[in-house]
Structure formats: C-alpha cells, structure tokens
C-alpha cells in the first residue's frame, strides 16, 4: 500500500519523504480538488483529502497538506491565501510590505489531512520566526524571507528545515500516529 500525497508542489513531497522511510512508500499524485473558500487550513485540508480519496476510487490513503504564512503585523495575512499571494504579489513584494512594519514576526502553519475508508484525521505544526530580506537558495516558496535562529529556511538543507519546521512537526505527529495504528 502506498500513501498518496496529493499536491502539485514537489518541495512538500521532498520534505515528506524523509518521514515515510521505513513506514510506507509515498507517491505524489496530482488531483485538482476544489479549494474551498475558508479561513481555516483544517477545513481546506479535510475537504481536499476527503474529495480526493472518494474521487480516486482506490483503497490507498491520501494526504493533503495545506500551509500558510501568517504575518503578525498584517493581521495574519496572507494566511490561507498564501499560494494566491505568492502567485500574484510574489515573495519579494510581500517582504517589502512587511519591511515597512516594526514588528517582523511571522509564523508558518501546516495542517495535514489524512483520509482513508475509515475517515479523516488531521495533524498540525507551526514555527515562529522573523521576516527578513531574501537569502538562500534552498527550500521553496516563502523560505528565503523567513528566518529562524539566524538562518532563513532557504539557507537550510531539507533535514535541517524538517527538524524545526511547521511541516516537519506535522509530519512527525502523523508518522507517530500512523505507526501506532498499524501495530
């Protein structure tokens, strides 16, 4: 049995692979589920995972990862709209917007929704940091402008980012639950 990671974002899959070694194989699947309009990462992830599991018509479980960057001084913007804002405004301009503020604190939050024939479970993780002018070539998305402990996430390798990141924490919680369940 393979777990199907439903995403068009290869960066997410690269980070997830480290966690699945030893428990299960993970396969990237692209499926254009309906992204519901909601302020809640949970609702978006659960609805996407449920819809995809039903639509793909196989017993293999699916995982959807919904992530947002929440900037304190901007009232949590772009939050659940982070993908849209990256595509329209872009990372560099979001940094310029935040750089006008005294408070540069922000956090990433990930909700993973797992769906199989028994139902849906969610796992979450977050990391707090500071927004900075872009640095680093690794990672993806907003990583170059998000600094944690003196380094941007784009200056870390996958292992280093996973050890402290929103997604790493959600994945660690998920694999622990999944391994217990299989026993």
Residue nearer to ligand ITT on the CB measure, 152 or 175: 152
Can you tell me the distance from the alpha carbon of 154 to that of 135, in angstroms, rounded to the nearest whole number?
A: 7
Angle subtended at Cα 77 by Cα 145 and Cα 84, rounded to the nearest 5 degrees: 80
Q: Is 65 in the site for ligand ITT (CB under 6 A)?
A: yes
Beta strands 151-152 and 62-71: pairing type?
Answer: unpaired
Least distance CB 86 / ligand ITT (angstroms): 3
Dihedral pair phi/psi, residue 118, rounded to 5°: -90, -10
Report the run of H or E that residue 121 belongs to, with start and end. Answer: strand 119-131
Check residue 3 and give left, alpha or beta (phi > 0: left; psi -120 to 50: alpha): beta
Task: Report the nearest approach of ligand ITT to the CB of residue 183 (Å).
Answer: 30
Question: Would you count residue 27 as binding ligand ITT (CB under 6 A)?
Answer: no
CA distance 136 to 48: 32
State which of positions 82-101 bind ligand ITT (CB under 6 A): 82-83, 86
For residue 182, the minimal CB distance to ligand ITT (Å) is 25
Interface pattern 119-158 for ligand ITT (x via CB under 6 A) = --------------------xxxxx---------x-----
Q: How many residues bind ligand ITT (CB under 6 A)?
A: 19
When asked if residue 43 is in the footprint of ligand ITT (CB under 6 A), the reply is: no
**Catalytic (active site) residue 43:** no
């Amino acid at each position: 049995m393979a777990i199907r990671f439903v995403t068009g974002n290869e960066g997410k899959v690269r980070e997830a692979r480290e966690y699945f070694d030893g428990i299960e194989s993970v396969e990237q699947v692209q499926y254009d589920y309906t992204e519901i309009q909601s302020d809640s990462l949970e609702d978006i992830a659960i609805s996407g995972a449920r819809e995809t599991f039903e639509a793909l018509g196989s017993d293999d479980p699916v995982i959807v990862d919904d992530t947002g960057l929440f900037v304190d001084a901007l009232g949590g913007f772009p939050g659940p709209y982070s993908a849209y804002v990256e595509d329209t405004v872009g990372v560099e301009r979001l940094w310029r917007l935040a750089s006008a503020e005294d408070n540069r604190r922000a956090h990433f939050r990930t909700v993973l929704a797992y769906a199989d024939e028994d139902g849906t479970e969610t796992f979450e993780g977050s990391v707090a940091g500071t927004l900075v002018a872009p640095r680093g070539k690794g990672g993806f998305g907003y990583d170059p402008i998000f600094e944690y402990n003196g380094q941007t996430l784009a200056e870390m390798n996958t292992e280093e980012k996973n050890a402290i990141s929103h997604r790493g924490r959600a994945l660690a919680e998920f694999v622990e639950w999944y391994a217990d369940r299989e026993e």
